[in-house]
Every structure is written in C-alpha cells, then in structure tokens.
A and B are shown apart, each in its own frame.
Chain A
Amino acid sequence: MEQRIYSVAEINGDIKKLIDGAPELGAVLIRGELSNYKIYPSGHHYFTLKDSESSLRCVMFKGSAVKLRFRPENGMKVIAAGRISVFPRDGAYQLYCGDLTADGVGDLHVAFEQLKEKLWKEGLFDESHKKPLPPYPRRIGIITSSAGAAVHDMIRILRRRYPIAKVILLPVRVQGVEAPPEIVGAIRYANRYQVADLLITGRGGGSLEDLWAFNDERVARAIYDSELPVISAVGHEPDVTISDFVADRRASTPSNAAEIAVPDMAELLRWMHNASGRMSQGVRNTLSREQKRLSVLEQKRVMADPTAFLQDRRLQLDLAYQRLLAAEKGKVDAQARRFASLAASLDAISPLKVLGRGYAMAQTAQGEVLRSSAQVSAGEKIRVVLGEGSLDCTVNDKE
C-alpha cells in the first residue's frame, strides 16, 4: 500500500481539522503571564502567554479586544479564554482568545487600579482642588436613581437633620452602560442651572459590577469639573470608587452623605442656646474684671480718704507759714539792730550832747541858730538854749 504524500497545506489543513474537532480544545481557560503584547493598527491584539516552562502564541481579534475592561500590559497575570486552532499558513497552533481577565484580583480591579493611577498622576485627586462644603446649604442636589433605597434614606436623613433645606432630585440610572453618561449629564446640568448649593451623587450597595458607573473616567472628570461641591456616596463602607477619590468629600454610604451634607438642626439649636449662655458669661466676666480693677483703685488712700490729700496740703501750708514767719521775724530783728545803731550815731552827733558838755546855742526869736553877730541888732530878743532849759535874753550891744 502506497503511502499518501501530503502537500504542506493539506497536512496543516488536516491538523487544523483535527484540532478544531477536539471538543476539549474548543473552549479553554489558560492561566499565564502576558508578554510581547502588541496592538496592530487593524485593532487585533497579538501576544504570548507564558509560564516558567512554556509559551503559547495568542491572538485576540478586534471585536473581542474592544470589550476588554482593562488595558493588558506585559507581565500581567491573566486567565485567557478562547479556543486552540491552527493558523494554516504558518503551521502554528495558537490561542484564539475571546476574553482576558486578570488573574487573582479580577479585571475590574485591574481596570480600577489603572484608572486610579492615571487620574492620580493627572492631579484629579489633589487635595488643593477640593472645595469646602457650604456649612448651611439651602438646596441639596441628589444625583441618583429615584427608585432605589438610597434616595429615600438620604431624604429621610436630610428631613430629620435639617428640614429647612430643599432637596432636589436629579434622577439618573446608576448601573448599565447608560449610567455614566446620565450621571455626567446631571452633574453638568446642575452646574449650568445652578440648581443646588451642593451635589450628592451615588447609589446603594451592590457588586463591583453594579457600582461600576462610579469608576467611569467620564464620571470622574465631570465630578472634577463641577463647580458645585460634590459628595460621593457609593455603596457600603468598604466600597471605594474612583468617584470617591475625585469628589470633594467621600461618604461611606448615601445615608452618611446626607449626614455630611447638612448640619443637625437640633445640634444647631443647642449650640445657639449655649451661645446665649456663653455670651452672658463672657459679659459677666468682663464686668467682674472691670469691677475688680475699680475696687483696686478704690482701695488706694487717695480714694479711700479724699481729705488726706487736703491734710497733706494743709500741713505743707503750715510749714510754709512757719518758715515765712521765721523769715519775717529775722528781717524785723535786723531792722531793729540797724535802727539802734543809726540812733546811736545820731545821738553822737546830736547838738544836745554838745550842750550837755556846757555849751549853749543862741537862736533868733524865730528859732534861727545864730552863727554871727550880724544876724541880730542891739535890743533884739534872742533865746539861749542850754544843756538843760533855755534863757530869754536881750542883746545889749554887739561887737
């Protein structure tokens, strides 16, 4: 029996048929590490899956590649799903990959980490960009589903805590492909028409898939661009989304967002009540401090005994008077001494003193002292004054 001679194409074709016919190779999951990852302009992805011992060529056509939820990178551990077939032209078998998922952590986690990294590098999470929340908002805009429990939880808490604020609901879908554009639209709309002082966007808990809209890059950028402050409120406490990082405040749950958004009115009233007391106390303190200052001043001697001041002055006055008297007395004594001496010298030159020694003084009848005989005529009466007494005489003759 003559052996059949194949052409290369024939044998490759037969092998392909054989492999394609093997049900165990039609749908396989392969764990490996990505390497040589290339994206061709055609949109097809080519890569090699390898582990420590072996490697396998893979191709992922454009139609499957666009559905990838993360960006594959060399070195990434993945699970590739697809079928093994032969590329007849090269006679090489390879994996025709339909989907790639991240190994261990899951592809959504990988996508999440990748977007987080990218936006973080761009500065979308910067603290400096975060806006303060208004302390007493009048209008709260809620961007969420009008159907879920989340919206009712928020309204209930807002009503209880701060019933003077108006709640404005901007209903959107919060899961599915329509969710991100609707959330983005509502954020932009709220900004354009300034419908609220503050926005809360989020939803109740769910799977990572359910929360995925809040890990959407478009939603993240809309939150970043919002001029109105945004509180992100997605899922339960442990759930963290990209929206949480980019929002001005992160709330652990929608209920928590409502608590962050508004003050508690009961607390405000209490605060006001206390404020009243604190103010009174403050004024009382000031008053008592001033009183203390006053009483310190009052206790000073000048204030306690106002006449003390006068007494001092009086004492001073007395002293001055004494000194004045003393000075005056001194002056009088000096004058008396001077008078005595003057009197003594006057006495020394007194004509009476001369007369006392036996001399006499002749005077005209008019009292004029006679120094020459020519001053009188014979027969004229003159007066002679002696040391003691006087004589009335008549001039008999003159020489």
Chain B
Amino acid sequence: MEKTFEENMARLEAIVERLEKGEAKLGESMALFEEGTGLIRLCRQELDRAEQQVVKLMKGADGAPVETDFLTED
C-alpha cells in the first residue's frame, strides 16, 4: 500500500536525524541516503500537486454529504 505523505515525512525525518547523528555504518548510511533522497523527491511531487479545492458541504436527500463549489473572492 502506498505510504501517506505523513508517513513519508516521518520516515524522512528519522533518516535525516540518523544520518546527522552518524550512528549508521557506512554501508547503511549510503542506503539511508538513497532512501532519503527518494523520499524527498516523492514528498516534493506531492507538494507540487498544489491545487486547493474549496467546497461547501450540503446534506443530500439521503443525508449523505453533497459537495458544491464555494467560490471565494480572490
């Protein structure tokens, strides 16, 4: 299952911290660095999908939510 942005960020923070502390063995460091670089790319991609949607939620006939556009002045 694909990791959420939150999980990716948490993992990235852990990797950066571990590398900074210099606790990892050289081989592990290289693997972590590679993983971290991949995560940065993933997270950036996610942030690039910047397209905020604003909707107004109304109660549908069956009680379930129905989204309608909410236009703002800007």
Point out residues on A near B: beta carbons under 8 Å: 134-136, 138, 141, 146, 152, 155-156, 158-159, 162-171, 189, 193, 195, 265, 268-269, 272, 275-276, 278-283, 285-287, 289-290
Contacts and interface: CB of A to CB of B under 8 A. Distances in A.
B29 A136 contact: no
Interface string B32-47: 1100110010011011
B26 to A, nearest CB: 5
Given A167-B52, A169-B54, A269 B47 contact: yes
B19 to A, nearest CB: 3
Interface of B: 4-6, 9, 12-13, 15-16, 18-22, 24, 26, 29-30, 32-33, 36-37, 40, 43-44, 46-47, 49-57, 59, 64-65, 67, 70, 72-74
Contacts of A195: 57, 65
Contacts of A171: 56
B65 A278 contact: no
Contacts of A285: 22
A169 B56 contact: yes
29 contacts: A136-B6, A136-B9, A146-B70, A155-B54, A155-B72, A158-B52, A162-B52, A163-B51, A164-B46, A164-B51, A165-B52, A166-B54, A168-B57, A169-B54, A170-B57, A189-B59, A195-B57, A268-B43, A272-B43, A272-B44, A275-B13, A275-B16, A276-B36, A278-B19, A281-B19, A281-B20, A282-B16, A286-B24, A286-B26
Given A265-B47, A282-B20, A275 B40 contact: yes
Nearest to B67: A168
